[in-house]
A and B are shown apart, each in its own frame.
Chain A
Amino acid sequence: MVNLFKRMRKLKTMLDIRVGTGAAILPSVANASKEFPAVTRLHLTYAQKIYGADNRAGPPPALTIYFADRIGSTATAIAGAKKITDKHAPAPANGEKMATVNIKDLTYQEIWNRVQASTGAEEIPVSEEDKAEAQKFEDMNTKAVKDRERIQAKRQAKKDQERMLAEARGEVEKLQAA
């Protein structure tokens, strides 16, 4: 049986999904505007492995955003800056328009800024409790590193002691045999 506390802690790491970077509400059909139409789906193409600093092996990483009926001007501007096509992205369904963002050499924060600007997504506000909880887990993690080192040192010392004892015994036996 898994320890309840362990289970809870594993579950709580999904806090990042709820309030971390990129946790946002995309415009839906109900509250779409002219500039920011509803987003139907997203598609991300990325290399399964990264060889070295610049990833030459895989396909160029690209994020495709599918809009319900039209593309806003911001999305066009961002996607249009460097025209790329993503051959892995599925074709748009009836009436869908797609904008592909080139995300090569961007950090995830930069990517997210672009996506947010082109879709008009509203970030989910982080409540005080969530902040406190995130802080708590952060503290736990830093403490865990320290504790791990401490225990590691302890175990190593014990192992060393045992090894020395064994060696000493072996020498005694050798002496007796000789």
Chain B
Amino acid sequence: MSSLGVTLPAAARSILSSCRSSIREATIVPAFPAFRQVRGMGSNPQAKGKGKKAAAKTSRRGPQEFRQKSLKDMEQFALCDAMRYIRALEVGRNPTSVKYEAHIRLRTRKDGPVIRNMIRFPHAVQTESRICVICPPDSKQAKDALAAGAVLVGEEEVFEAVKAGIIEFDRCLAHPDSVPALNKAGLGRILGPRGLMPSAKAGTVVEDVASRVEDLRGGTVYRERDAVIRLPIGQLGFSPEQLRDNLRTTIEQIKKDASGLNDRINKEIYEVVLSSSNGPGFSLNGEFKTDASPETSALTGV
């Protein structure tokens, strides 16, 4: 009854409650039909109270989706124009460390799954990252991981090093066989805050460690936070064509991620913003260049 009381309109509710009361009065209180009837008619106070509470609850929780305003008034740029401004704004910074960043804003619910994945760009953005693999030493996986370029492989010696405070890697993977040992070692307290603790959710507990290592070495990990995915997509020296390729790959993969999540979850890209390490964000309009933009060769190099 309570759920019905919330969802049904008042008229239907009064009909329903009058039906019920008439049944009841037949069985329990046959002597006071009129009294019962009156109480039923003047809408159920209990249900009314419930309805109010539910309404208050939704308003307190706020909207279910992240509010994304209309971009009608937002000035948007072609890729080349945005790059031109960013390059001008990054003058005087260390050109090797400055990166182009993409902020992909999504239209999505506040709850529900988020996109997290990794991507391999056609043009590598990051310099090599050091990877640690936790798997039984002397196993086949250990050999493969070393061959794929992991810097630290093993179980006990890795735990010892981490406990001693020596963390000389940027990524950490684990083989499922080693997970019990890993949990027993109690490294979550040390690795967790650094985001290095392997977990199946983050995709860092995998059977095929070696291929993952290869992926990671050229890949960038990204995740959705508050309806935005932020990731570096290029070095400052990249040509507009290189950046376009990277951006296109990113957007395609994110679309794929979004469609692969769940049938009922609807995520769509709402705005793509190009930014840089120190620059402001430029909303992109999806075009490559305009008539006023300079030659692509002028936007290349540092």
Taking CB atoms, residues of chain B closer than 8 Å to A17 are: 85, 88-89
Taking CB atoms, residues of chain B closer than 8 Å to A14 are: 85, 88-89, 280
A1, CB-defined interface residue at 8 Å:
yes
Chain B's closest residue to A3 (CB) is B69
Residues facing B in A56-96 (CB within 8 A) are none
Taking CB atoms, residues of chain A closer than 8 Å to B74 are: 4, 7-8
Minimum Cβ distance to chain B for residue A93 (Å): 13
Contact B280 A1 (CB under 8 A): no
Name A's B-contacting residues (CB within 8 A). Answer: 1, 4, 7-8, 10-11, 14, 17
Minimum Cβ distance to chain B for residue A125 (Å): 15
- Contacts A1-B67, A4-B73 known; 18 new A-B pairs at CB < 8 A: A1-B66, A1-B68, A1-B105, A1-B226, A4-B69, A4-B71, A7-B74, A8-B73, A8-B74, A10-B280, A11-B75, A11-B280, A11-B281, A11-B282, A14-B85, A14-B280, A17-B85, A17-B88
Q: How far is the CA of A137 from the CA of B226 in the complex (A)?
A: 31
Minimum Cβ distance to chain B for residue A63 (Å): 13
Q: How far is the CA of A76 from the CA of B73 in the complex (A)?
A: 49
B153, CB-defined interface residue at 8 Å:
no
Minimum Cβ distance to chain A for residue B92 (Å): 8
Minimum Cβ distance to chain A for residue B103 (Å): 10
Chain A's closest residue to B74 (CB) is A4
Taking CB atoms, residues of chain A closer than 8 Å to B89 are: 14, 17
Taking CB atoms, residues of chain B closer than 8 Å to A7 are: 74, 280-281
Taking CB atoms, residues of chain B closer than 8 Å to A8 are: 73-75
Residues facing A in B67-95 (CB within 8 A) are 67-69, 71, 73-75, 85, 88-89
Q: How far is the CA of A4 from the CA of B281 in the complex (A)?
A: 11
Q: How far is the CA of A71 from the CA of B74 in the complex (A)?
A: 45
B196, CB-defined interface residue at 8 Å:
no
Interface size range on B against A: 10 to 19
Chain B's closest residue to A13 (CB) is B280
Minimum Cβ distance to chain B for residue A68 (Å): 15
Q: How far is the CA of A1 from the CA of B227 in the complex (A)?
A: 9
Q: How far is the CA of A17 from the CA of B84 in the complex (A)?
A: 11
Taking CB atoms, residues of chain B closer than 8 Å to A10 are: 280
Minimum Cβ distance to chain A for residue B30 (Å): 63
Q: How far is the CA of A17 from the CA of B73 in the complex (A)?
A: 22
Ordered nearest first, which 5 A-B pairs have the shortest CB separation?
A10-B280, A17-B88, A11-B280, A4-B69, A14-B85
Q: How far is the CA of A14 from the CA of B85 in the complex (A)?
A: 8
9 sample A-B contacts, Cβ–Cβ < 8 Å, listed by A number: A1-B68, A1-B105, A4-B73, A7-B280, A8-B73, A8-B74, A11-B75, A14-B85, A14-B280
Minimum Cβ distance to chain B for residue A43 (Å): 11
Minimum Cβ distance to chain B for residue A168 (Å): 35
Chain A's closest residue to B68 (CB) is A1
Taking CB atoms, residues of chain A closer than 8 Å to B280 are: 7, 10-11, 14
Residues facing A in B120-149 (CB within 8 A) are none
Minimum Cβ distance to chain B for residue A46 (Å): 9
Minimum Cβ distance to chain B for residue A16 (Å): 10
Q: How far is the CA of A7 from the CA of B69 in the complex (A)?
A: 13
Minimum Cβ distance to chain A for residue B114 (Å): 16
Taking CB atoms, residues of chain A closer than 8 Å to B66 are: 1
Minimum Cβ distance to chain A for residue B230 (Å): 12
Chain B's closest residue to A14 (CB) is B85
Taking CB atoms, residues of chain B closer than 8 Å to A1 are: 66-68, 105, 226-228
Q: How far is the CA of A17 from the CA of B226 in the complex (A)?
A: 32
Chain A's closest residue to B227 (CB) is A1
Minimum Cβ distance to chain B for residue A27 (Å): 14
Q: How far is the CA of A11 from the CA of B85 in the complex (A)?
A: 10
Taking CB atoms, residues of chain A closer than 8 Å to B282 are: 11
Q: How far is the CA of A7 from the CA of B226 in the complex (A)?
A: 17
